[in-house]
Amino acid sequence: MDAFFLQVLNGLDKGGAYALIALGLTLVFGTLGVVNFAHGALFMIGAFCAVTFRKLITLEQVVLSKTELSPWGTPLEIRTPYAQQWFGDFGNVLIDYSVPFSLLLAIPVMLLIGISMERGLIKHFYKRPHAEQILVTFGLAIVLQEIVKTFFGANPNPQPIPQALQGAADLGVMVGLAQHTITYPIWRLVYLLFSLSVIASVFAFLRFTTFGMVVRAGMADRETVSMLGINIDKRFTIMFGIAAVVAGLAGVMYTPILPPDYTLGMDFLVLSFIVVVVGGMGSLPGAVLAGFTLGVVQSLASMTAVKDILPGIDQIIIYLVAVIILLVRPRGLLGKRGVMEN
């Protein structure tokens, strides 16, 4: 039973990442009607925002010491990060918490990338068939990941967890179980909470702001909204930017869990597409629900008890779920009737 809870928890943080990526994909599909295969690349770029940020703030000034000698007899090099020199103690905090702080870098960068992507390339593809949209964004994904590879190389770039958030939390104690029954890495808990709050803020944004209301109206009936004199294209462009930001933020916070390399996007892309389809094309709650469900299902399938009965099930469970859903209920878990149903 404890193992069961643990696996559910493990699944939830992975599910959080799936849900965030799928949420962005669905936003783009629901507003612009574009199937964006470059969305995984946006997740990857977000992760590399964290890498870049850390590289920038750990730039060091190297001073040769006048008195001390290194073991080789040469003057000792004293390395002090510029951040520490300029900001003092806050600089150290900045370095320690580089991953959360890089969210601040990621937001403008992802917004810019998202909007320029939409304006530069994707707007020409609204009227083209889905197959061509898939192809052009797939090509774009290759280009983006190769550019990242040129700058950061092919090796994974591990990012540290802030000191205070390292280690594991003993969740079992909180619910009255014995010690060390359910321990869970704190950072994964942070990630879960983070993804929930991002999801909540996206929904709140769409639900409670005028901008969100217009966007929802545009999703329902684009033509009527534009006939009412509202520049719906501009809002949809901004929504594309927001979708890129969501993917980017998901990527930033995921870096301590999985060291990012340039293929990260492609790895997540296939899974998140399956999440979108299982949730129902164009359904935002569906994407979130399917994201968490598939995350949990995947980690439950990797329990030894399950693997003993069905060997190899952990490898294919997500695809299997997708196939079954598509055959039995093609509009997905929460998809609207009539939207992309055949």
Partner 1 sequence: MFNIPKKDAITFVLFAIVVLTMPIWLAPLGASYPGLLQKFAIYALLAVGYNILFGLTGYLSFGHAAFLGVGSYAAVWSFKLLSMNPVLALVFAIFFSGLFALAIGFISLRRSGIYFSILTLAFAQMSYKLAYSVLSPITHGENGLQLTLQDPRAIDMMFIERGSSLPTSSLFGIPMNGYAGFYFCAVILLIGFFIAQKITSSPFGMMLKGIKSNEDRMNYTGFNTKPYMLTAFVISGIYAGVAGGLLSITDPLAGAERMQWTASGELVLMTILGGVGTLVGPVIGAWIIKYFENIFSAFNESVLHNFFAFLPDNFESIVVLISSKFVGEGWHLTLGLMFVLVVVFLPGGIMEGVRRISARFSNRKDPSKGEEVIDPENLPKPDLKKGE
Footprint of partner 1 (CB under 8 A)? 29, 33, 35, 121, 124, 127-132, 134-136, 138-143, 146-147, 149-150, 219, 221-222, 266, 270, 273-274, 277, 281-282, 311-312, 315-316, 319-320, 322-323, 326-327, 330, 336, 338-340, 342
Question: 104 vs 320, which CB is nearer to partner 1?
Answer: 320
In angstroms, what CA-CA distances link 317 with 4, 62, 124, 172? Answer: 17, 52, 37, 28
Question: 249 vs 261, which CB is nearer to partner 1?
Answer: 261
CB 267 → partner 1: shortest distance, Å? 10
CB 5 → partner 1: shortest distance, Å? 26
| 315, amino acid identity | Q
Contact between residue 262 and residue 43 where contact means Cβ atoms under 8 Å apart: no
Question: 244 vs 274, which CB is nearer to partner 1?
Answer: 274
DSSP track, 117-145 = HHHHTGGGGSSS-HHHHHHHHHHHHHHHH
Q: 90: which DSSP letter?
A: H
CB 121 → partner 1: shortest distance, Å? 7
Question: 104 vs 324, which CB is nearer to partner 1?
Answer: 324
CB 111 → partner 1: shortest distance, Å? 22
Rounded CA separation 29/276 (Å): 10
Rounded CA separation 28/298 (Å): 26
Give the phi and the psi of residue 122 in degrees, each rounded to 5.
-70, -25
Rounded to the nearest 10 degrees, the angle between the axes of helix 232-254 and helix 39-57 is: 60
CB 281 → partner 1: shortest distance, Å? 6
Question: 68 vs 221, which CB is nearer to partner 1?
Answer: 221
DSSP track, 191-237 = HHHHHHHHHHHHHHHHHHSHHHHHHHHHHH-HHHHHHTT--HHHHHH
Question: 34 vs 296, which CB is nearer to partner 1?
Answer: 34
Q: What is the CA radius of gyration of the chain?
A: 22
CB 285 → partner 1: shortest distance, Å? 16
